[in-house]
Chain A
Amino acid sequence: MFNKFIVAVSVASAISLHGQALNHKIDFPKDSPVSLLSEDFGNSNATARGANLIDVNAALSLRNSGQKRIRSMTLMVSTPDAAGKGSVSVPTLDAGPGETFSVHISTRLVRPLTAGNPVVEVTLDGVLFDDLSFYGPDLLHSQRNMIRWELEAQRDRKYFKTLLAAGGPEGLRKEMLSSLARQGDSSQRGVQMVRGRATNIDAEPESQFAFLDIPESPVEASGGMARIGTNLAGAPRFEVRNRSPRAVQHLEISWIVKDQQGREFLAASMPADMKLAPNQSGQVAQDAALRFDRPISIQGMSGFVSSVEFADGSQWIPSRGALDQTRLRQLVAPSPEEQRLSQIYTRKGIQALIDELKKF
């Protein structure tokens, strides 16, 4: 009797843990400038373990079927009933008409057990072209990020070209080595962002929030306050003033935290949708808290304006000159394009990098 019982349990476990083949749906609009050449969901599967564990491992081969050069693309990954949405972006593309490129998706989703087979949907959220025009539903507001990545790419490529012209290959090599050293030195901490009135942060004491002023920034931030608790910082609020002649509709502040050893690191970004006419001031208060994955005694906080979007959709980002401030240089991560270029230098050498810079 007992042996039969054990066998029944083992069989039930084996049936439960057997990975089901995953149903997937790739849905690009008919007029999409990107078309699907091939797909490989080979290692994707769904396993029932209290909830559906869905492992998506897919490689998509895509082609630019439009008339413009594609600079970046964002795909949205979702499944019915699953929490939130996910995205996979390729920010440093340079795919001309008819050219192909690939995107790899590696995602794990957990969704409640429901009737029917789990389905994963991959849809196009947006494509950015070299003239900064955009195609896509932009459900994830990816257009703003993609424009910023492209502006950063243009800024950095121009900077490296200038260095090459002024200092030759040796000047470019020196800057690449400096960039690689900064990338290796960057210290980051695992962090969680808890939204809404879900924390006890209101009971924690409030501390002042210093801002690094970037003179060229169209928006000035000041009067920052935030609450600091054990391994926790939250409820940030600050004042902003539009000191440019153009109307602003969105801005982003980078939030820097200093630990007990005096080390500073970028903890989070604080985006805010707010309309500011020229010379108009406003207040930003965010109902969220940062929680660190390792014990930290927060000794201080600061921030700086990292991007501004004007009413016409154009954006301001800090120049290379502004980022050369010693503090910002250590804190601000290199752009995706700078990382791609430094990777080319590392793998193929200075001549391959020069050839790449000459492309556009």
Chain B
Amino acid sequence: MSRHVMETDLALYAAGDLPVWRGAVVKFHVRGCAECRALVEALRVDRQELRRSADNMPANVDWDQLAAEMTANIRVGLAAGECVTPRERKIAAVSWRPMAIAAGLVVLLAGAWWLNVPRTDTETIGRALRNIATGQRAASPQEERGPVVGASSTGVELIENGGRMGIDQGGLEPVMFSVSTQGSASARYVDQNTGQVTITATYVQ
């Protein structure tokens, strides 16, 4: 015989676990091959030895507990292995649903701000944040404490106690405007069609 039978087939043959046809082929080979026959004999001796050892086990072994302890030991071993092996970064799968919820919340917050916070407060907060970012001194927030009257090409305006009063003349641009130190601002308009002059003003109370 030029080729030996595989060792796994010999082990199955020794235990009587090979199918009939394959078992016959191996039996034929083992009869003519001293080396394989010796191996089969050695395997049979080992089986008998194991059976004897099993007979020596305590009678009341809790196999479930034993299995649980073994599982726990395996997990401890795996965890210890993770500690000493560099971990690969896992990339979380991106799902559209959390993104949509986050975008919705942003829209909701922006809408709530727009609906509920007066523009003056938004401007004040923006100015304060800009001052923090640019490191400017806190002059501007202090200046907002007093009543302010203003006059410009957009008309006159009074800002006081969080309230605001602006007066223009329906989109007309004033021909002149001014403020006074007693707390008033005025703007003068000339109607191009009628020539009528109108002066609007705001006053600190």
Query: Which residues in A have some Cβ–Cβ distance to B below 8 Å?
Result: 2, 5-6, 9, 13, 16-17, 49-51, 57, 77, 81-92, 103-104, 106-112, 140, 183, 186, 188, 190-200, 236, 266, 268-271, 286, 288-291, 293, 333, 336-337, 339-340, 343-344, 347
Contacts and interface: CB of A to CB of B under 8 A. Distances in A.
Contacts of B149: 192-193, 195
12 contacts: A2-B104, A6-B104, A13-B111, A83-B159, A85-B202, A88-B200, A106-B168, A188-B153, A190-B150, A198-B142, A198-B146, A340-B196
A199 B142 CA distance: 6
A99 B45 CA distance: 135
Contacts of B108: 9
A97 to B, nearest CB: 20
Given A83-B165, A266-B178, A195 B115 contact: no
Contacts of A236: 181
B197 A91 contact: yes
Contacts of A49: 114-116, 118
B100 A2 contact: yes
Given A2-B104, A195-B147, A88 B167 contact: yes
Nearest to A83: B163
B205 A83 contact: yes
Interface in B72-129: 100-101, 104, 107-108, 111, 114-118, 120-121
Interface stretch (B9-17, B56-64, B185-193): B185-193
Q: In the A-B complex, list the 7 residue pairs whose CB atoms are closest, starting with the nearest.
A: A198-B146, A190-B152, A83-B163, A83-B160, A192-B150, A110-B164, A193-B179
A104 B203 contact: no
A194 B195 contact: no
A150 to B, nearest CB: 13
Nearest to A192: B150
A42 B24 CA distance: 110
Contacts of A140: 201, 203
Nearest to B105: A5
A305 to B, nearest CB: 15
Given A50-B116, A83-B159, A193-B183, A340 B197 contact: yes
B20 interface: no
Contacts of B111: 9, 13
B143 interface: yes
B176 interface: yes
Best-buried of B150, B160, B198 by chain A (most CB within 10 Å)? B198
A291 B152 CA distance: 12
A92 B190 CA distance: 11
Contact of B158 (A84, A90, A190, A286): A84
Given A2-B104, A13-B115, A104-B198, A77 B150 contact: no
Given A83-B159, A190-B151, A198-B146, A108 B179 contact: no
B166 interface: yes
B25 interface: no
A269 B176 CA distance: 13
Given A193-B149, A288-B183, A343-B195, 8 more contacts: A84-B158, A109-B166, A188-B153, A193-B179, A195-B204, A196-B147, A340-B190, A343-B192
B163 A82 contact: yes
A188 B177 contact: yes
Contacts of B142: 198-200
Nearest to B145: A198
A320 to B, nearest CB: 18
Contacts of B176: 186, 188, 333
Contacts of A85: 165, 202-203, 205
Given A9-B111, A83-B165, A192-B150, A269 B181 contact: yes
A199 B146 contact: yes
Contacts of A112: 162-163
Contacts of B179: 191-193, 268-269, 290
B108 to A, nearest CB: 6
A29 B195 CA distance: 29
A221 to B, nearest CB: 14
Given A16-B115, A49-B115, A293-B152, A89 B170 contact: no
Contact of B153 (A77, A91, A190): A190
A329 B145 CA distance: 37
A193 B143 contact: no
A195 B205 contact: no
A90 B196 contact: yes
Contacts of B177: 188, 190
B139 A200 contact: yes
Contacts of B166: 107-109
A339 B171 CA distance: 19
Given A104-B170, A106-B169, A268-B181, A88 B163 contact: no
Contact of B197 (A92, A188, A198): A92
